[in-house]
């Protein structure tokens, strides 16, 4: 394997085929704002895992991400726990992105709750969490477990 293949392998979450948490955090540190983000948490994933199996659910989610037309500039990765995902995109596109993603997920029988953050400039690492410093019109938004 060449160096790029190894880096991609190590930075990819094997279950969902998107950036791992560590790889996502490294990418976030290099972002230049402003940008928008949507944090989402799949609904009823535990029940779906019991019904059809973990392997099948992971394959369904992996295929959903693989077939969604993300922009090359968008970051998509796992966040805190198993079913929490973050997508970071350019400003002004978040509503459209979220609507398209909801529809695309529904086509795969997947549903999620979400929280959006607009016009974010920087992420800051604290001891056990990351928070975003938003523009002056917005308050500081703490990004933690969505449950």
Stretch among 24-33, 69-78, 83-92, 133-142 having the lowest mean pLDDT: 133-142
pLDDT digits (tens, 9 = 90+) for 111-139: 988 888 777 655 555 555 554 444 333 32
Mean pLDDT over residues 54-63, rounded? 94
In CATH, 14-143 is 3.40.50.10320: no
> What confidence score (pLDDT) does residue 81 get?
67
Q: What are the extents of the domains in the chain?
A: 14-143
Inter-CA distances, 124 with 25, 27, 132, 146, Å: 10, 13, 6, 18
More confident residue, 120 or 83: 83
Q: What is the band of 147 on the pLDDT scale with cuts at 50, 70, 90?
A: very low
- 33 burial (CB, 10 Å; 0-12 / 13-18 / 19+) is middle
DSSP 3-51: HHHHHHHHHB-TTTSSB-HHHHHHHHHT--S-EEEEEEEESSHHHHHHH
Alpha-carbon 127 to chain mean position: 21
**pLDDT for residue 5:** 82
């Amino acid at each position: 394997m060449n160096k790029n293949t190894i880096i991609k392998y190590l930075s990819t979450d094997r279950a969902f085929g998107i950036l791992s948490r560590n790889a996502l955090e490294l990418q976030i540190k290099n972002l230049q704002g402003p940008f928008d983000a949507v944090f989402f948490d799949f609904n009823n994933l535990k029940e779906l895992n019991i019904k059809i199996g973990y392997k099948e659910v992971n394959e369904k989610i992996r295929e959903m991400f693989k077939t969604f037309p993300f922009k090359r500039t968008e970051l998509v990765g796992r966040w805190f726990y198993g079913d929490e995902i973050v997508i970071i995109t350019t400003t002004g596109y978040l509503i459209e992105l979220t609507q398209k993603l909801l529809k695309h997920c529904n086509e795969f029988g997947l549903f999620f709750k979400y929280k959006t953050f607009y016009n974010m400039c920087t992420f800051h690492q604290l001891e056990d969490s990351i928070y975003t410093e938003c523009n002056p019109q917005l308050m500081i938004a703490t990004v933690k477990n969505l449950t």
